[in-house]
Amino acid sequence: MKKVNFLAALCCLLLISCQVEQDEVIENNANLTTATGPQFGPGGFQQPDPDDDSDLEQSLAWAAYTAASVLYENVQVQAEVANLLDSSTKSVSFETLLAADTEATLFRTRFMNRFQMFVDCSLGHVVGDDCPGGSNSPGDPACPPCTGLSAGAEAQIFVDYLLNDHCLEFYLPRGFQFAASNKITTAAHSMNDAFYTNKGFLFENSPFHPSPETSISPNYIQIKVHTYIIGRPIRLVSVGEECSYSAIPVNDFEDFLLGSWPFGQ
């Protein structure tokens, strides 16, 4: 009898152990699923919280990613942006490139069309080799509420969110290096003074399929000579609370990725 009880107890222990391992596998798979960035609810969207720096970081990551996608494939777009880039700060504001009256009309049109395509991919409206995904993109595109809008309006609302709710810019620490290399690496500001690095995406073979996530740092920029596009906030207290970024623990957004690298300014 004791032998039978022992075998029964052993079977119970094995069943419990298997269940625990199964739960751990499910949890680990869930972590892998969300590792590419915050998920934005059904259909890939939710209202970005202006006080949530992870939402802003996600939006900046997608803005830089989309900009690189259109710059990679067209020399006319490159010329437009290069002409508007401030050579002293190596930066150009989102307002300069994306406002309705921009001089960079080709860039703005292609940026909005490309982001709309990425949104449609995330919604399943478009399926194909040009759709980004997995570790090759910053997750689902960040967009303000798109419910009830006509199809194709998401890109305009995303641009309105970037321009009206924030003060933002692209920072190109090495300027344009297309003469030396057609590669582009993109990233967003880490939103923290403690981190001089962040995940980035390297476009080197296609405007739609960058290499999987890479870690971008001052040392990375110093060693690898090509074009970099960094999305970051501009702190303009005089504009209003939306551009003060008082809730973000960053003293100076321009310090990101500089570190000891001598060519940042």
DSSP string for the chain = -HHHHHHHHHHHHHHHHHHHHHHHHHHHHHHHHTTTS---SGGG--PPPTT-HHHHHHHHHHHHHHHHHHHHH-HHHHHHHHHHSBTTTTEEEHHHHHSTT-S-HHHHHHHHHHHHHHHHHHHTS--STT---GGGSSSSPP-S--TTPPTT-HHHHHHHHHHHS--EEEE-TT---TTT---EEEEE--S-TT-S-EEEEEESS-SS-PEEEEEE-HHHHHHS-SEEEEEEE---TTT-GGGT-TTS--S-GGGTTTTT-TT--
Domain of residue 241: give its range: 49-255
Determine, yes or no, domain membership for 198: yes
How many domains are there within the chain? 1
pTM: 0.77
Determine, yes or no, domain membership for 113: yes
Determine, yes or no, domain membership for 43: no
Determine, yes or no, domain membership for 12: no
User: Quick one: pLDDT at residue 76?
Assistant: 95
Determine, yes or no, domain membership for 34: no
User: Quick one: pLDDT at residue 144?
Assistant: 58
Determine, yes or no, domain membership for 197: yes
User: Quick one: pLDDT at residue 255?
Assistant: 87
Per-residue pLDDT of the chain (265 residues; tens, 9 = 90+): 444 454 454 444 444 444 444 444 333 333 323 333 333 333 344 444 555 567 788 899 999 999 999 999 999 999 999 999 999 999 999 999 999 999 999 999 999 999 998 888 887 888 877 887 666 778 767 665 555 455 678 888 889 989 998 999 999 999 999 888 889 999 999 898 876 788 899 999 888 888 877 888 888 888 888 999 999 999 987 887 889 998 888 989 988 887 544 444 4
